Amino acid sequence: MSICIKAEDVGVSYGSHKVWEHINLEINEPGLISILGPNGVGKSTFMYTINKILEPSSGRVTIDGRDVMEMTFKDIAKSIAYVPQASGETFSMTVMDTVLMGRYPHSGYTLTEEDMMIAADCLTMVQMGDFAMRNFNELSAGQHQRVMIARGLAQEPRLLMLDEPTSNLDIYHQIRTMRMLRDIAHKRNITVLVICHDLNIASRFSDRIIMLSKGRIHSDGTAEEVLTSETIREVYNVRTDVISVDGRPYVLFHDEV
């Protein structure tokens, strides 16, 4: 059931500007994976190479052994779902219609009973079931986010990728969203890949952390393995102390850089 993504010596560039070089990565277990790294390091770019939104300029990416370059976007969409960053753009559709967008890779022109049940189920899973018939542009930011996640889940993916799902949310909603994503990953036995900025939130909820820095993977492992003072200083250039809380690292920052 779980997907197997391999990036073999992948390089990505925008024109002549090289963003990534020699990326080697394997994702083959379900769970919540956080991607951390400084601004501009190319976290979104990293995600885009996995589902071919950006084509690798060198190396290759395979999904369950198949090279993405040989797969159509629709094929990829049946296994991998992408939830874009909150853009503040709203549209005048019901929540249910929005979630049903995610059924595109699987459905024909008309929606079947099954499509609707799956969409309803995804809404229930993000605890937005009661809002199904509400208009999307009447919702709050936190509610938008959950609907977008439901839309991604409606694709029935084995890998769900979210680009900074918590960056515009308050602490309550940040924690709630990450907990929900972790539960979804475990209950549905899928891999959830999240781009995150908050080190402690990532630490608390992730099964695995991938730390990116200067165009390559700096560290890759459990929260304990990755979140150390040295790593943080190397990657972010800030001085921190790392303590352990409930078995997870907790990063304390100082009032200086």
Partner 1 sequence: MARMRYRSRIRDIMTRVRLSENASRLTKHDGNGMTNEEIVKEYRTYKFAKAAMLVIVLVLCLITFGIDIGLGPYSLSLMEVYQAIFDRFSDWGQTMSTDMKVVWDLRMPRVLMAFLAGLGLSMAGAAMQSMMKNPLADPYTTGISSGAALGATLAITMGVTIVSGTFGVVVNAFVAAMIPAVFIILMSVYRKPSPAMIILSGISLMYIFNALQSYLMLTADPNAAASVYAWTIGSLNSASWDNIPFIFTVVVLGGIMLMLMARVLNTMNSGDAYSKSIGIDVNRSRVIILVTISLLAAGIVSFVGIIGFIGLVAPHIARMFVGSDNKVLIPAAGLMGAGLMLLADCVVQVVLPTMPIGIITSIIGGPIFMILILRQKKEVW
Tell me how far, at minimum, the Cβ of 56 lies from partner 1, in Å. 15
Q: Which is nearer to partner 1, 131 or 236 (CB)?
A: 131
**Which two tokens mark 166?**
């918590």
Q: Which of 250, 215, 214 is nearest to 58 (CA)?
A: 215
Q: Which is nearer to partner 1, 136 or 236 (CB)?
A: 136
Crossing angle, helix 141-153 and helix 171-188, to 10 degrees?
10
Tell me how far, at minimum, the Cβ of 71 lies from partner 1, in Å. 10
Q: Which is nearer to partner 1, 92 or 237 (CB)?
A: 92
Tell me how far, at minimum, the Cβ of 182 lies from partner 1, in Å. 18
Q: Which of 159, 140, 7, 28 is nearest to 83 (CA)?
A: 159
Tell me how far, at minimum, the Cβ of 163 lies from partner 1, in Å. 9
Q: Which is nearer to partner 1, 128 or 184 (CB)?
A: 128
For binding to partner 1 (CB under 8 A), which residues are involved? Answer: 48, 51-53, 72-78, 80-82, 84, 87, 89, 91-94, 96-97, 101-102, 104-105, 109, 113, 116-117, 120-121, 123-124, 127-135, 155
Tell me how far, at minimum, the Cβ of 36 lies from partner 1, in Å. 21
Q: Which is nearer to partner 1, 3 or 120 (CB)?
A: 120
The alpha-helical segments, DSSP class H, found in the chain are 43-50, 73-79, 95-100, 113-125, 141-153, 171-188, 199-205, 223-226, 229-236
CA atoms 201, 204, 210, 211: torsion sign: positive
Per-residue CA distances from 3 to 123, 180, 191, 227 (Å): 23, 20, 7, 26
